[in-house]
Chains A and B, each alone.
Chain A
Amino acid sequence: MKSSPLPRSNLYGLLSLIYNRELTAETLRELKKPEFRETLSKLNIQLGGDFFNKPEEELLLDLTLEYTRLFIGPGRHISPHESVYREDKEDKGLLWGEATVEVKEIIEGAGLEYKADYKGIPDHISIELEFMQRLTKYEHEAWESGDREKACRCLEYEKLFLESHLDKWVPLFCDKVMEEGKLTFYREMARLTKEYISLEKRYVNELLSDSPKAGQIVD
């Protein structure tokens, strides 16, 4: 056990929140807190002067309009849904494709369900990141309770989902956001997301290969 999965889980949670919807005032206030700013700058993530200096209301509107322009439209926008990007699938370029069904089945297969009031599409980026948040949290709990087998199973699941889903499209999505984003905030969040997914993929693989027992778990 190299590091606790809890921070990993939290970072997934943060990213999920960022893409989930337009930022609320409360979230924004949390993000602007000095501790958080410091952590980000250690990671070399710069949210820009405006982010910290602009009056809250103005900034919130800027961020809302940018979120809408980037991820909702109407019209030309960057779709936050996996199936639109999956060139390897027969129905590429459309919403609710084969990939969406796979994502839904993996998530539901893990014992989770979409909330009844969730109106989005099952392969929205925030859903996929939230699923990783839940998996890593579950992994953390398993380690905590000494259930190595369960923890390794979680890791297998993480690997599966990272490799067969997130990594298949999130880097492409992030590239577009970095290129099209007008506000530093979303560009930097996209950079963070892309790097994190890449890191996570390596990390999970390393961890599984370090753990011979984990490698044997096939479920």
Chain B
Amino acid sequence: MRKISRRGFLKLGAASAAVLTVGSKFTNLAGAMELKKVGQDFSPITNRERKAIPSACWQCVSRDGIIGYVEAGRLVKIEGNPKLPRTNGKVCARGQAGVNQVYDPDRVLYPMKRVGKRGEGKWKRISWNEALNEVTAKLRELRDNGHPEEFMFHYGRMKASSGKIIKSHFLAAYGTGTIGNHTTICEGGKWVAQELTWGKHYDINDVTHTNFILNFGCNLFEAHTSHVPFAQRAIKAKAERGVKLVTFDVRLSNTAAKSDEWFPIKPGTDGAVVLAMANVVMSEGLFDKDFIETWTNVTVGQLTSHLKKYTPEWAEGVSGVEAEKIRSLAVEYAQAKPGTIVSYRGAVANYTGVETERSIKMLDAILGNIDVKGGTCKAVGAKWKNSFKKPKGHAKKLNILNGFKGDAAYPNHHISHRVLKMIKDGRNGRPQMYMVYCYNPVYVNGEVQENISILKDEKLIPYYVNVNPFYDESGSLADLILPDATYLERWDWEDMVSYDQIPEYYIRQPLVKPLGEARNFADVVCEIAKRLDINLGFNSAEEFVKDACEHTPGVKEAGGFEFMKREGAWYDKKAEPLYKSYTKKLNPGDYTGKDILFDKETGVYWNWKKSKAKNREEALKKGYTDTKNAYKGYVGQKIGEEVFLGFKPDKVNKSGKFEIYSKLLEKKKFNPLPTYMPVPEHQKMKSDELILTTYKVNVQSHSRTQNCKWLTEIYHENPAWINPETAAARGIEDGDRIRVRSHLGKILTRARVTEGIKPGVVAISNHCGHWEYGRYASGKIVNRKATDVDASLKWWWRKGEHPNYLIANSPDPIGGQLRFMDTVVTVERV
């Protein structure tokens, strides 16, 4: 039989169209075959209806709105929630793989008590009742002895309502202030720079309306703290309006690759380029005189003279970026106004990070790009209201949160990577009970080996509880593991900042019940509170979220809790984007009153009663800048004859001006104006030494997604990126086994020889090398026989190497940031 060719079929198909037009009245199927609205879905295999439940992601701190599809009680799929403008209904690979968090075969499903020696791996399952008896007995003992502060609670990520319930309500009522976080391993230095400059941290690059995106060390298309909202808007600006994106990065990240220009820059020298650009802006007269003279605390003359020494030629010598390029880029950026400068860990997670970030904010300020449409804006987020009263009273704390004396001038976000060292040191006391929540101190900090030995030592830490849905490197050293619910099994209200300058209210609700005996820790603290006779006023996270939905203006009117459970999100569709919040004028009534003082030196109006001043006289005598916590009473800033909201301070007693000149830094013997501070270790490097930097990719978060099978199937190996020139000098070829050594130790890994990295640098991602965290993250399986089903579940064997063994737990001298990007190493072929 003659075969009909594919082309023949296509011709017949095309010809059929005309026949169908005529014959359309003879069809038997009604309706249009189009996709159902999002929110309804059917399994193509089982035909079961899938229930669509709006909730919120937590795979990274972006916390995008999601919809989970549940079929026969099983979570089968996650998509973005289109009811939230922030992501336009999209979610990244990490977000989709959240399904794997719930169904990780190595999840901890029961409370587990250590039986053998600490770290030996011998465990016994106990009931929740036994576990909580044990925990509350210890908590009661510490409290009754008058030392609740000897209970240290250390969290990694605890946001929104979970943070409020656990920290502001439970821990406050219990009376411990020894509460650690993990911000200095993220971007603590960046936040400190912002707090010294413009007040509350978080900067929104308004790329939707900008004309130019200048990027220092941020991999925004792969790994920003607002990944999807930011990446979507940035790529749209590029694609639809041709907005230029210029990236400075030691490595050709996917962001650098999608940029119009990529400048490979020497680690720790971004600040030099920024200062040189500012020099050009001043010397070429491209600055915004009005903004400088009105809103900052410096004059044009002062700036010009300060920046004089930072010439493009000087910066070229420091950073390796051509002077002419710096000059032309500065002019182009200034003229494209409004532009916005993006910065992240590449620029700030090093010795000079705070100064780099201050320089970056200065450059945007002198161009008048601050908090304007298309510029670099103050963040706008949801403001939830709960009716429950927060406990009052002074919580005692151990002074172990901010590192050693002299570690950092302004550890506004604590220095989490110094906590274990402080405990080891012991001079400021030691917690008798150490509890970690969503935090893996062994793995995420530097000096991994020391972290292990401290946590293992029962003399240093007598009792250690790990709250965790998974068995991670730190959990393996615990005395008790309390199985936490994953984020897809719990309640929260959420408040992440908006990329449209409009507050977005959204909630997280359980898509499925917690697996096994896992329980949401925010619920567990409600029970612990009861056992300790503490009245929180609520009994569960659900009740807390419900209360907020019924009390938050806007959400309440929209339909409160029932509405939010159904839709997942609410925002005011008529809201105008908020820009230039600092220009809000205050009425005399706002800044007059018996407790409000005017500080002549700074021009700040402040309420002394909210500070730590004992009385009015003391407040007047010490003044705003020198009174502890005076910033908490900040009311407004006098400029000329008027009083404005200004740049409201947070965490430090900065004035309401945009402080390019930092008196606070001057007091601590740092240069008050943004300055380039070279990384000391880089100044005395030997010819064979290299600089190690770390980075993140698009399908993993720092340490908490490697158990997700779908993600680790894509990314499970992190060979060290090294330039061909650097590699050749060491006889290294692509794929070779190499040894990377720092003063702390060595790791064995593989070389990826690529032009996509600056010579003299070696880059290893943060994501790999788990030795616990389940079979997918750690590569551990029960046995490796070819017939073993576990072995056939994954086709990859390597698990990569963890670079943190090589990185010191040392802080940057201003903000205390862990210096992930400036470690000196040697590399050799094995």
Interface set of A (CB-CB < 8 Å, partner B)? 22, 64-65, 68-69, 72-79, 81, 84-85, 87, 91-97, 100-101, 104-105, 119-121, 169, 172, 175-176, 179-180
Contact = CB atoms under 8 A, between A and B. Distances in A.
B517 A75 contact: no
B515 A121 contact: yes
Given A73-B112, A121-B515, A169-B789, 5 more contacts: A22-B125, A77-B782, A78-B782, A84-B105, A94-B103
Contacts of B776: 93
A101 B121 contact: no
Interface-central residue, B106, B515, B785, by most chain A CB under 10 Å: B106
Contact of A73 (B103, B123, B783): B123
Interface in B470-489: 471, 475-476, 481
Contacts of B781: 76
Given A73-B106, A73-B108, A119-B517, A64 B124 contact: yes
A92 B109 contact: no
B106 A75 contact: yes
B793 A92 contact: yes
Nearest to B709: A93
Contacts of A120: 109, 516
B516 A121 contact: yes
A104 B106 contact: no
A94 B782 contact: no
B586 to A, nearest CB: 56
B510 to A, nearest CB: 14
Contacts of B289: none
B782 A68 contact: no
A161 B560 CA distance: 47
B109 A72 contact: yes
A58 to B, nearest CB: 13
Interface centre among B105, B123, B516 (most CB of A within 10 A): B105
A77 B476 CA distance: 14
A95 B104 CA distance: 6
17 contacts: A68-B124, A69-B122, A74-B123, A93-B776, A94-B99, A94-B104, A94-B105, A95-B102, A95-B104, A95-B105, A96-B103, A97-B74, A101-B72, A104-B72, A119-B516, A120-B516, A175-B787
Interface of B: 71-75, 99-100, 102-110, 112, 115, 121-125, 471, 475-476, 481, 515-517, 709, 772, 775-776, 780-783, 785, 787-790, 792-794
B476 to A, nearest CB: 7
A1 to B, nearest CB: 37
Identify which of A65, A75, A94, A179 gathers the most chain B CB atoms within 10 Å of its CB: A75
A97 B105 CA distance: 10
Contact of A75 (B72, B709, B772): B772
Contact of A68 (B75, B125, B516, B793): B125
A26 to B, nearest CB: 18
A93 B794 CA distance: 9
Given A73-B106, A81-B105, A101 B73 contact: yes
A87 B105 contact: no
A97 B793 contact: no
Contacts of A91: 103
Contacts of A68: 112, 123-125
Classify the secondary structure of B's interface with A. Answer: loop
Most chain B CB within 10 A, of A22, A73, A101, is at: A73
Contacts of A73: 106, 108, 112, 123, 471
Contacts of A105: 72
A81 B775 CA distance: 15
A167 to B, nearest CB: 14
Contact of B74 (A78, A85, A96, A179): A96
Given A74-B112, A75-B106, A87-B789, A65 B124 contact: yes
A48 to B, nearest CB: 21
B751 to A, nearest CB: 30
A79 B104 CA distance: 11
Contacts of A81: 105
Contacts of A76: 106, 775, 780-782
Nearest to B72: A101
Contacts of B475: 74
Contact of B471 (A22, A65, A75): A75
Contacts of A77: 106, 782
Contacts of B110: 72
B826 to A, nearest CB: 34
Contacts of B793: 87, 92-93
Contacts of A169: 789
Contacts of A172: 788-789
Contacts of A84: 105, 789
Contacts of A97: 74, 103
Contacts of A100: 74
A91 B102 CA distance: 13
Nearest to A22: B125
Contacts of B787: 175
A77 B105 CA distance: 10
Contacts of B780: 75-76
B357 to A, nearest CB: 40
| 4 nearest CB pairs, A to B | A74-B471, A93-B793, A94-B103, A95-B103
Given A68-B123, A74-B112, A79 B772 contact: no
A176 to B, nearest CB: 5
A179 B785 CA distance: 11
A68 B772 CA distance: 17
A176 B782 contact: yes
A176 B783 contact: yes
Contact of A95 (B72, B471, B515, B792): B515
A78 to B, nearest CB: 6
Given A94-B709, A176-B788, A72 B72 contact: no
A172 B792 CA distance: 12
A96 B516 CA distance: 11
Contacts of B104: 94-95
Contacts of A87: 789, 792-793
Given A93-B793, A172-B789, A75 B782 contact: no
A100 B71 CA distance: 12
B282 to A, nearest CB: 58
Contacts of B789: 84-85, 87, 169, 172
A111 to B, nearest CB: 18
B79 to A, nearest CB: 17
Nearest to A180: B782
Nearest to B713: A93
A6 B84 CA distance: 59
Contacts of B112: 68, 72-74
Contacts of B124: 64-65, 68
Contacts of B775: 76
B105 A79 contact: yes
Contacts of B516: 119-121
